[in-house]
Structure 1
């Protein structure tokens, strides 16, 4: 008789940047274990937003948990951070914690309808750490999935746990657990700087860290060779296995048969430019910058020697869904860049992966969201960093330290606006054939090779991590093909690294 079917339950935090890693994880699991039952749970509207772009042949099950935003003082339909102003984020974070009874009921029904020997594994977002209590109640294996980078995550949690900015008046200070890491106050988000350990934000993250200490293992959306420092920091703090399982499983990059008008315009613009000549600019799905910063960026872009694609939104102080006004840009800017074919403004959404894999794309001016960094590195595209919130500042630190980019600006305070001259200087430095630019581009290409090798079935570092997850969580192979794959990778692991848990 075959082994009982395994059920894996995924619980991402309801935010766009958290969806992609969980969906990529589901694809990875199904690629190597097609027989797995995988269910992703979330709030009803958020489930619908996930369902719509899934391919028709997707085997991922979706389960909504009852959630009424109004019960928590949230606007109607607000079931994701994308639906809320930053001021209400903490209310939403706390509301998601209150899904505990509904999630408990869901797991209880799964267990009662399954065989006693059917393995159950819960993989939850690090922002949903309370799910570990449910896992313990039903004797399920529990893995926390850190959707941010290892270095960014380690610094982020250290700040919330220790509040080192409160221990000194200096602009720069070390982290208690990691004294080799020096943080500048300009790299700390305003809501963290304002925290003192007793506020709602601090209490929320302290709860998640308490839960995190009870998990069985942590998956990290990164690559061992790309983030050795960050992973060593996490392994110093936590004594359970730390498994890097990045980069994300990207969809095929072939052109879609049914493109939007915006996508057609983007691809046409890229096709009209020289190889590695275009600067792609995006601050992510939820971020924007100050009006003064937007003006200076536009002036610097026009003065540089590089064509660009800019995914642009109304500046801070405007409603994100407002119609974009020409007054937010230099007089005549849009007409000039169009006539000279040196720039393209995209309002709303752009097919980022298709832009990054196009031969004409040469660099990425990014807010340093972790998904964007990984996508950029997967295609060997250097980064001009402009972090604006959360752990993005620490991701930017890692980008610079890794030699794959340079920081252009930091934050969204008016005082941090880069001048026209600074924009020109940094853009030309990275995009032009000078020694520094070549060094950065070569390093980015090396990182692309690292990303490509991570899932090599003959000893790739992320493949090793996935196998350890399968083994420790009791998700074992059932077919001859899988057994052969395990045997081949385990041999490579034994030859190349020590798989003992002591090394984790």
Structure 2
């Protein structure tokens, strides 16, 4: 009797720049023929994904309930790419509503597989709370970042430390990543105005802090050209860090 393949659950954020690398990674994993893949997202994104998957793909697309109107978003708004930028914080905060639905989804998957747990949950950088659910069910949890280690090291340090708030100079180095220096003009308007109490930094700082609880972090990069950024996260979190790119 053929041995049942272990299942990997993948859950990207509701934005095409996040869904695309997740799907590319899922297709790469599928080619190994070693795992089944459950790809989770909101109904409209799943509907769109069905048209992108090869006809012979075995990736299982699974909807998670979502009603954008419940979160002060325009009707049928399930992808950040279709929204004006001022709605960004709304869709960030709306993603927190997935937590009970995702817990139920994982529980149902385990029941359907006669008690067999997924071997791994791979979640988005903005869905770090998936770690709590993975831990609850005893499942390995990894975060997948669709870019490189250096860029995300800068992103992480900037939002967590808000170093521009600790200096009057327009140029500064990152306190825990001194290999990188910035000028305030290189920062987004949201980041420049962030002070730790605004809605963006409140959400992002809490979300980013959850990265350190993951069992591992996957980057869409290669070790040979991105060692500096990858070393930052290994040093920062003391967790496994794997370059798995380029997946796109």
**TM-score scaled by length of structure 1:** 0.48
Cα contact 1:10–1:40 (8 A) shared by 2: yes
- Answer yes or no: is 1:180 the counterpart of 2:202: no
Greater radius of gyration (CA): 1
Distance 1:70 1:116 in 2: 36
Can you list the C-alpha shifts for 1:344-396, whole angstroms capped at 9, x where unaligned?
Answer: xxxxxxxxxxxxxxxxxxxxxxxxxxxxxxxxxxxxxxxxxxxxxxxxxxxxx
| Structure 1 match to 2:69 | 70
1:141 aligns with 2:140: yes
What's the counterpart of residue 17 of structure 2? 17
Q: How does 1:278-297 map to 2 (within 5 A)?
A: none
Q: Secondary structure at the match of 1:197?
A: coil
Q: How far apart are 1:106 and its partner, in Å?
A: 0.5
1:448-480 Cα distance to aligned partner (Å, 9 max, x none): xxxxxxxxxxxxxxxxxxxxxxxxxxxxxxxxx
Per-residue deviation, 1:117: 4.8
- After TM superposition, the structure 1 = structure 2 runs for residues 27-38 of structure 1, keeping only pairs within 5 Å, are 27-32=27-32, 34-38=33-37
The aligned residue for residue 113 of structure 2 is 114
Alignment of 1:447-486 (within 5 A): none
Q: In 1, distance between residues paired with 2:247 and 2:98?
A: 28
Q: 1:58 and 1:5 mapped to 2: Cα distance?
A: 15
| Contact 2:14 2:80 survives alignment (8 Å) | yes
Q: 2:80 matched to which residue of 1?
A: 81
Counterparts of residues 142-181 of structure 1 (less than 5 Å): 142-181=141-180
Runs of 4+ aligned residues of structure 1 deviating over 6 Å after TM superposition are none
The CA distance in 2 between the partners of 1:90 and 1:137, in whole Å, is: 28
Separation in 1, partners of 2:97, 2:179: 38
**CA RMSD after TM alignment:** 1.4
State how far apart, in whole Å, the 2-side matches of 1:48 and 1:117 are: 27
Question: Between Structure 1 and Structure 2, which shows a larger proportion of strand residues?
Answer: 2
Segments of structure 2 that go 5 or more residues without pairing to the other structure are none
SS of residue matched to 2:179: coil
Give secondary structure in 2 for the equivalent of 1:180: strand
Is the contact between residue 12 and residue 40 of structure 2 (CA under 8 Å) also seen in structure 1? yes
Aligned to 2:5: 5
CA distance in 1, matches of 2:94, 2:150: 28
CA–CA distance in structure 2, aligned partners of residues 47 and 157 of structure 1: 29
> Is this contact kept in 2: 1:4–1:118, CA < 8 A?
no
Q: Is the 8 A contact 2:9 2:118 kept in 1?
A: no
- Which whole-Å CA distance do the structure 2 matches of 1:189 and 1:53 have between them? 32
Distance across 1 between alignment mates of 2:241 and 2:152? 13
Residues 91 and 117 of structure 1: CA distance in aligned 2, closer, same or farther (over 3 Å): closer
Aligned to 1:127, what secondary structure does the other structure show?
Answer: coil
CA contact (8 A) 1:10 1:22 kept: yes
Q: Is the 8 A contact 1:43 1:67 kept in 2?
A: yes
Q: Distance in 1 between matches of 2:111 and 2:153?
A: 38
Equivalent position SS for 2:57: coil
SS in 2 for 1:19: helix
Distance 1:118 1:72 in 2: 32
Partner of 1:270: none
Structure 1 gaps of 5+ residues are 250-504
In the TM superposition, residue 58 of structure 1 has moved relative to its aligned partner by 1.6
Q: Distance in 2 between matches of 1:39 and 1:113?
A: 13
2:226 is matched with 227
Report the Cα offset of residue 35 of structure 1: 4.3
* Offset at residue 140 of structure 1 (A): 0.8
Q: Provide the secondary structure at the position in 2 that maps to 1:143.
A: strand
Alignment CA distance shift 1:138-1:49 (3 Å)? same
Aligned pairs (5 A) from 1:372-387: none
| SS, match of residue 98 in structure 1 | helix
Secondary structure at 2:178 match in 1: coil
- C-alpha distance in 2 between matches for 1:122 and 1:10: 6
Instruction: State whether residues 77 and 83 of structure 2, in contact with CA within 8 Å, keep that contact through their aligned partners in structure 1.
Output: yes
The Cα of 1:64 is off from its aligned counterpart by: 0.9
8 Å Cα contact 2:215-2:240 kept in structure 1 = yes
Aligned to 1:364: none
Aligned to 1:215: 214
| Distance of 1:176 and 1:201 partners within structure 2 | 21
